[in-house]
Every structure is written in structure tokens, then in C-alpha cells.
Amino acid sequence: MIRDLVRELFEKALARGAAEGRWPAAPVAVAVEPPRDPRHGDFAVNAAMVLARAAGRPPRELAAAIAEAVRAADEGGAVASLEVAGPGFLNVRLAPDVWFRALQEVERQGAAFGRTTVGKGKRVNVEFVSANPTGPMHVGHGRNAVTGDAVARLLDWSGHAVTREYYVNDYGAQVQTLARSVHLRYQELAGRTVDFPPQGYPGAYVVEIARALRAEVGDRWLDAPEAEWLGPIRDRAVEHVLGMIREDLAAIDIRFDLWSSEKALYQSGTVERFLGELEAKGLVYVGTLPPPKSRKGGPPAAPADGEAHADGEAEVASAEPLTLFRSSRYGDEVDRPVKKADGTPTYFCADIAYHWQKRQRADALVDVLGADHGGYVPRLGAALEALGHARRDLHVVLIQMVNLTRGGEALKMGKRSGNVVWLREVLDEVGRDAARFLFLTRRADAQLDFDLELAKKQTLDNPVFYVQYGHARLASILRRAAEAGLPEPRFDLAAVRSLVLPEEQELLKRILAFPELMAEAALAYEPHRVAYYLQQTIAAFHSYYTGGKRTGERVIGADPVKTAGRLYLCLALKQVLANGLAALGVSAPDRMESAAVADED
RNA sequence: GGCCCCGUAGCUCAGUAGGAUAGAGCGGCGGUUUCCUAAACCGCAGGUCGCGUGUUCGACUCACGCCGGGGUCACCA
């Protein structure tokens, strides 16, 4: 990376000066950044401003001294100019050939251009989706899935060893509710009239499962006691729903390396062993929870909602003693129960056992969670810390809500009510590429407005088409050149030296900044940066291209050297777009055909 | 009420480990096509970066306090 070259040069000069006592050692890493204003050079370095205080010298004076040291350290002659500017910036301009030569990397690395080793082979586990197996994926799961997948891809690009994991909550109350829902539909299929409770799962897929069940076991479980059928029906239902979820994931092109089962954690005795571990470490005790805090707000109970709890127990604070985990010692508000009053482990208990176990398999953990789980994060961190790990070994990406709209009109979608919008419906309507890209056009922790009409549009207001069109246009230019019998573009120093127009300079610097961008996006777990980069980069090309029509500076022109240089620029740019899109899981078409929406799978 | 996220142009949002004169898209207005994809581009208009203190060479960025929007405060997962 070119920026590293500058950074290393400064570090060398600063260290040398510090050793000679000319200034103190840098307290923090100096920033090497491309300035907003290109007139300020290729990079701006804030070394003098950072050091001024400790050195007890005015920044500009110190900057001049540092500049001298940098010039002395620059044996290769990479720096063309170095000047003190503004409050004490050192503006660096590199020799043109440094940039031109670097362009060869794109050809050399091809589809790997943009990969870095900043991850140093660190094993990272990315857990995402982990939707309860009680129904197909809805739109919110879709955003989670796409974000998690993109984060995993970026971590891979930056040299991490990535595992993608789905934690299946196939144990506990919710899947039992699913099983009961199936049983009710099963009774209906036998011609009985049942009273379907509001907390049951109303989806049509539940009837499907019931139908399959009836075909398999006939009337055998119609009047059997619940204890007999609950487990088996639950297992069948979960398996069926997981099948649907896998199909949803396949439709958006996401695969997991590992599916972990909550039930298996119990069956293998991991949860029990883990509880023993907690006891041995003195991290649990038997006590009572403080009574629930009064929640202020408008009118408290919404009667229309019916019972919020599956079992409809009263809210009276039971003073029954529970087994509690000392999470408050590690920054959580209160201690959290790991065993219910009936002695069985809580979800939280199994979940920290799961994270504990995951941490054995990876150096760092990433959880992609819905924003409604934000309150859950401190206790997870507390658990990891209590178990002897660093809190920052777990990074949580919180995914905010998706507001679906159609032509600006909000689509009503309730959580548990009937009018859920399934991910599959959206994919069928707008296609995989549009869904993926649009889910990634915002920071994860900001709410996202997703407009179905916009996503379908094949016009420039649709960012995914804008970027894909740019890639197709580049492909088209290269095709045109091949048809004209021009030699296949290859790196040639003499040719790329002709890329001297300001627009060309901007483009080649953007291309060469791509690896840095990818590394930074990965380390920040922020794939939206890549989406922005792609839009801005292709906009710069469109501008160059269209401007060329006016000025006559075309890619394919009379001058063979210029033409060769520009074709190589197009090739490199096309590679960068393709690689960036690949990191987001979006296709990079060579042509934009009329019906670009993905049809079938 | 406690905690978390958000508050930047009319709208939707970027702003890269605090950096020089705050950006993009859409929408509005006005232009560009002897065409390598006009599915594109150019220009104009539009801002007390929610408000206030503080930290320092320097704050949209960090700290604290307000205001506004959302989320969350289970022996449910």
C-alpha cells in the first residue's frame, strides 16, 4: 500500500530524530491521510502537530525540522515535494512514478487486488442471522444476513481466518410454541375446531408442517398427552423451518461454515459442565432479583395486545431464590439468572456457555445482532470478562430496523402479527443484487429506509444499478478496443505515464487506495464504506468519460500510447469495481441487459 | 426513570483512529448527445453539523448536561 510507504518513511525519520534527541518519541501514531483538497498534495502528515506539545516547539518550526529528516531518510527518492502548510501539516507529494509503478499491482493481483494481511491470520468467528427456527426469514433478518456476510467477506479479504456460524435456538419455549402451533393445525386437519391462541405462530408454513406430520403419523398424536408429542413435533418442525431458512439464505447467496445447535449444547452436557465451571470460579450464587423497575410512559398495558407472555403469568415480583451470575461485578446493571425457578438453565446461561466455547475456537468473536438486543451486549461482555477473556474479544454489530416502503409509502409490518414481509418476497421482487447492495448503503446502526420501487428501478437513482452500469460500461469499452484490434491492455510503464490529466490522476489514486479502504472497512466492521467507495469511484469515472467526449480526450484515441495507458486504467478500474462488489456479494455484470433482475436460481 | 443508538442541505444519508474552505445521491432550476452505453455528465440553488458548556494548537468527530426520534429494561429466546 502506498500509504504505508509514506508512513514508514516518516516513522524512520521520526525515530532517527528522536534517537538523536532532536524531538521526543511520538506519543501516538502519526496520521497519514490523503487531504480533502488535492492541492495539498498526495498525503498530509500531522507529525509536527502531534509532537509540538511534548517538544515545546511551535508546530511549523518542528515541521520544517521533520521535513529535513524525512528528505534525508528518503533514499529512494519517492518524495517529490514536502512542504509545511497550515497549522503545521507536512504535505507530501510523491514522485509520479511511484504511483504509476504501483498500478502494476492491479494486474499482478487481479481478483485478489485489495486483499491485505492486516488480519495476520487471526481466527475470527462471525455469528450472524441466528434467527429463531420458528419461521422463514423476514426483511430484518435479511439485513442482518447481508451485513454479517459482508463483514465476514471483508475480514477474509483483510487476512483473517473466518468462520461463519449460525446459532440455532432449537431449544426452549419458542420452539415449543411452534410445536404446539403445529399440533393445533394438525388437529384442524383432522377436522376438529381449535382455538388458535394469539401467541401461536400463524404462518401458512405451520399448516404445511402439520400436513406433513399427518401424512407421517396419521392420527396417532391427536389425543396423546403433550409430553409424548412435544419433543418429536418440535424436532420435525425445527427441521422443516431450518430447511426454509436455508432456502432463503441460498436465495441471497449466503452459506455458513457451522450450524451450532442450542439443543446440542444441552445434550452434550456442555451447559451443565459450564455451570460447574461458573460455580468453581465462584461466579454464581443463589439469591433473589430486585423487583422490576417501574416503567414510566404512557398508558401501561395495551389490552389489545393480549398476553405478552407465553405462559401469561402475573408480573408479581417473585422473591423466589434463583441461581444468579455475578455479571454486575463486570459492569452489568444487575446480576442475571442462569437458572430458572424450576432449576433449568436460562437462555442466557446456554448463550454464554456457547460464547465461552466459541472463544476457545477463535481469537475474536463477532456477533451480528438486532438492535433490540442492544441491552443484551453488556452482560455478554461481562460473561466473557468473568471467564478470563478480554471484553474486546467480542465485537457486536447492531443492526437497526429496516423500514420498507413502496414509492415512499410505508409498508405496515408488525412483529408477531400476520403482516410480516418475508425476505423471500423482497428478493423475488427486486433481485438479490439490489437487496444486498441497498442493505449495505447505510451504517448498520442507522435505520434503513428500503424502497421496493427504487430497488427495482434500472435508473441512476438506484445505486446498485449505477455501480453495476459503471462496471458494464468499462467492460464495453474494453470489448470495443478488442474489436478494434487493439492489443489486450497490459501494464506498461511508458503507457501509464501518459495518465496525467487531473481526472486520470484522481482515478489512479482511488484505485490504489482500494486496499486501504478494504482494510479499514474490515477493521471497523463497516461494509457500507465499500458501498460508498464504489459509488464515488464510478462517479469519478463517469465524469471523466463524459468529459472526454467534450474535450476529445477519449479512452480509445489516435495516440497509441495514451490509448494503451487509458485502456489499462479502465482494466484496473473494472477490476477494483469487481473486487469491491465481490466483497459485498454483489455481481459485476459485463453488460446491462434489459431485464437485469435475477430471474431464477 | 436507567442504559444503548441516532440527530449534518427540502428528503435519504456519508464524513476514513479530532485536521486545513463540511460532502454525495435524490428532489428543484438551467444546460450537454457528428454518440468508446445520454442507463451518463456539467452548472446553479440549498448548512448556526439539534442546543450549551468543556478538553487542545484545532471539535461534525472526544467528555459532561439538556432537547428531539428510536430501541431496550423477563426465571422469552
Measured from the CB, is A266 under 7 Å from any atom of strand B?
A: no
pLDDT tens for each residue of A398-437: 998 888 888 777 776 554 445 678 899 999 999 999 999 9
Measured CA to C1', what is the nucleotide nearest A465? Answer: B39
Q: What is the mean pLDDT, run by run of 10 residues, along chain A of 601 residues?
A: 88 90 79 84 90 84 92 92 90 94 96 93 95 92 94 95 96 93 96 91 94 96 95 96 96 96 95 93 88 45 33 46 90 89 92 94 93 87 90 89 80 58 91 92 86 82 88 94 93 95 91 92 92 92 88 89 95 96 94 50 27
CA distance A128 to A148: 6
Beta pairing partners, A33? A44
- How high is the pLDDT of residue A402? 87
Measured from the CB, is A173 under 7 Å from any atom of strand B?
A: yes
Domain A463-584 coded CATH 2.60.120.10: no
Measured CA to C1', what is the nucleotide nearest A39? Answer: B20
Measured from the CB, is A54 under 7 Å from any atom of strand B?
A: no
Decide: A9 and A34 in contact? Cβ < 8 Å.
no
CA distance A22 to A223: 89
Decide: A496 and A103 in contact? Cβ < 8 Å.
yes
In CATH, the number for domain A128-137+160-254+400-456 is 3.40.50.620
The residue type at A336: R
User: Nearest protein residue to B24's C1' (by CA)?
Assistant: A536
Instruction: State the alpha helices, DSSP H only, in A391-527.
Output: 423-430, 432-439, 452-456, 463-483, 493-496, 502-523
- How high is the pLDDT of residue A403? 84
| Same CATH fold assignment for domains A128-137+160-254+400-456 and A269-290+320-399 | yes
Measured CA to C1', what is the nucleotide nearest A460? Answer: B39
Q: Take residue A118 and report the three cell numbers written for it.
A: 492486516
Measure A240 CA to B55 C1' (Å).
Answer: 58
- How high is the pLDDT of residue A588? 94
Measured CA to C1', what is the nucleotide nearest A532? Answer: B14
Beta pairing partners, A162? A124
- How high is the pLDDT of residue A331? 82
**φ, ψ dihedrals at A164, nearest 5°:** -100, 125
- How high is the pLDDT of residue A2? 86
- How high is the pLDDT of residue A418? 53
- How high is the pLDDT of residue A376? 87
Smallest CA-to-CA distance from A168 within A267, A231, A273, A258 is with A258
Measure A453 CA to B26 C1' (Å).
Answer: 14
Measured from the CB, is A166 under 7 Å from any atom of strand B?
A: no
Spell out which residues of A between 547 and 576 contact strand B, using CB within 7 Å: 547-550, 554-556
Decide: A30 and A10 in contact? Cβ < 8 Å.
yes
Spell out the CATH class of A2-94.
alpha beta
- How high is the pLDDT of residue A412? 64
Measure A48 CA to B62 C1' (Å).
Answer: 21
Q: Is A558 exposed, middle or buried (0-12, 13-18, 19+ CB in 10 A)?
A: exposed
Measured from the CB, is A177 under 7 Å from any atom of strand B?
A: no
Name the superfamily (CATH) of residues A269-290+320-399.
Answer: HUPs (3.40.50.620)
ipTM surpasses cut 0.90? yes
CA distance A43 to A4: 11
Measured from the CB, is A442 under 7 Å from any atom of strand B?
A: yes
Decide: A327 and A379 in contact? Cβ < 8 Å.
yes
Using a 7 Å cut-off to protein CB atoms, list the covered nucleotides of chain B: 1-6, 12-27, 32-33, 35-42, 56-58, 70-77
Q: Take residue A320 and report the three cell numbers written for it.
A: 423466589
CA distance A61 to A66: 9
CA distance A377 to A518: 27
Measured from the CB, is A407 under 7 Å from any atom of strand B?
A: no
Measure A343 CA to B50 C1' (Å).
Answer: 49
Measured from the CB, is A400 under 7 Å from any atom of strand B?
A: yes
Smallest CA-to-CA distance from A429 within A449, A398, A457 is with A457
Measured from the CB, is A289 under 7 Å from any atom of strand B?
A: yes
Q: Take residue A5 and report the three cell numbers written for it.
A: 510507504
- How high is the pLDDT of residue A84? 92
CA distance A286 to A401: 38
Beta pairing partners, A52? none
Measured from the CB, is A130 under 7 Å from any atom of strand B?
A: no
Measured from the CB, is A528 under 7 Å from any atom of strand B?
A: yes
The residue type at A94: L
- How high is the pLDDT of residue A342? 87
Measure A360 CA to B9 C1' (Å).
Answer: 50
Beta pairing partners, A284? A325
Measure A448 CA to B50 C1' (Å).
Answer: 21
- How high is the pLDDT of residue A362? 95
Write down the domain spans for chain A: 2-94, 128-137+160-254+400-456, 269-290+320-399, 463-584
Measured CA to C1', what is the nucleotide nearest A550? Answer: B32
**Strand order from edge to edge, sheet including A258-261:** A258-261, A161-168, A123-127, A364-370, A394-399
Long-range CB contacts for residues A80-85, cutoff 8 Å, separation at least 24: A81/A41, A83/A41, A84/A48, A84/A60, A85/A40, A85/A44
Q: What is the DSSP string of A519-565?
A: HHHHHTT-THHHHHHHHHHHHHHHHHHHHHHHHS--SS-S-HHHHHH
CA distance A323 to A345: 9
Smallest CA-to-CA distance from A363 within A382, A390, A383, A386 is with A390
- How high is the pLDDT of residue A548? 87
What region does A485 belong to: left with phi over 0, alpha with psi -120 to 50, or beta? left
Measure A399 CA to B6 C1' (Å).
Answer: 13
Spell out which residues of A between 307 and 346 contact strand B, using CB within 7 Å: 308-310, 318, 320, 322, 333, 337, 340-342, 346
**φ, ψ dihedrals at A390, nearest 5°:** -80, 140
Spell out which residues of A between 481 and 510 contact strand B, using CB within 7 Å: none
Measured from the CB, is A85 under 7 Å from any atom of strand B?
A: yes
The alpha carbons of chain A give a radius of gyration, in whole angstroms, of: 29
Provide CB contacts within 8 A for A538, sequence distance 6+.
Answer: A466, A467, A470, A471, A577
